Structure 1
């Protein structure tokens, strides 16, 4: 499932609710171009060494993303506004990837914050 929040939504309350529901919340800053988007995911999610900093590798890494305690993972992709405005094609592709992987996994949710 994918949730979209804007700059006027109660983002902190949303994250607090996810944590209270037992989710393993992982916040990833959106970046400003393809390189910073992919680097943001790699750093925030501590992706494996084989991650090739390309879109296919991101799909594979998100498919394999796990945690030690089998809790639901909630990816919070934050500060996406600048990317959406300056590189809409990169934004759209990243959103498509996040939604695709979230649809494939019962244990993964995605929140996209456009602020």
Structure 2
């Protein structure tokens, strides 16, 4: 049974297990960090530094543009499974709760749509997102 697409909150010990599992399963792993910063610009900067985006994003204004770019960037990898680990998400959530909720919504929407056979024209990708607690 496949996991439900979306975002899962995990603790530090589980984060180590995510890294180990991704390596043993030949799963592409991205580790996103906002580096102690908060707000929309910090998240967009982290996404530009870490994630496959297609096309690349220049600004930090549009969450929809980020979602579209991330969706296409992950799809272009042509991998069955991709994992995103965001270990410092809890501190980001504490200092930027609204932006955190929006970022989680975007990541969840991307994960759900990438798992859709129809949206991906028969080539779905399992995109798992894990955030630190």
Q: Same fold judged by TM-score > 0.5? A: yes
**Residue equivalent to 1:20:** 24
The size of the alignment, in residue pairs, is 113
Q: Which has the higher strand share?
A: 1
Q: 1:56 aligns with which of 37, 58, 64?
A: 64
User: Which of the numbers 61, 80, 85 marks the counterpart of 1:76?
Assistant: 85
Segments of 5+ residues of structure 2 without an aligned counterpart are 116-124
- Counterpart in 2 of 1:92? 101
Change (3 A) 1:69 1:13: same
Task: Report which of the two structures shows the higher radius of gyration computed on alpha carbons.
Answer: 2
| Alpha-carbon spacing, 1:21–1:50, altered in 2? closer, same or farther (3 Å) | closer
Does residue 11 of structure 1 match 2:15?
Answer: yes
Structure 1: runs of 5+ lacking an equivalent: none
Q: Assess if the C-alpha contact under 8 Å between 1:22 and 1:71 holds in 2.
A: no
Change (3 A) 1:42 1:21: same
Which of 100, 105, 110 is 2:114 aligned to?
105
Three-state SS of the structure 2 residue aligned to 1:10 is: helix
Deviations 1:40-87 (A, max 9, x none): 001112534641423111101111023556341111122011111111
The answer to whether the Cα contact below 8 Å between 2:29 and 2:85 also exists between their aligned partners in 1 is yes
Pairing partner for 1:43 from 46, 49, 59:
49
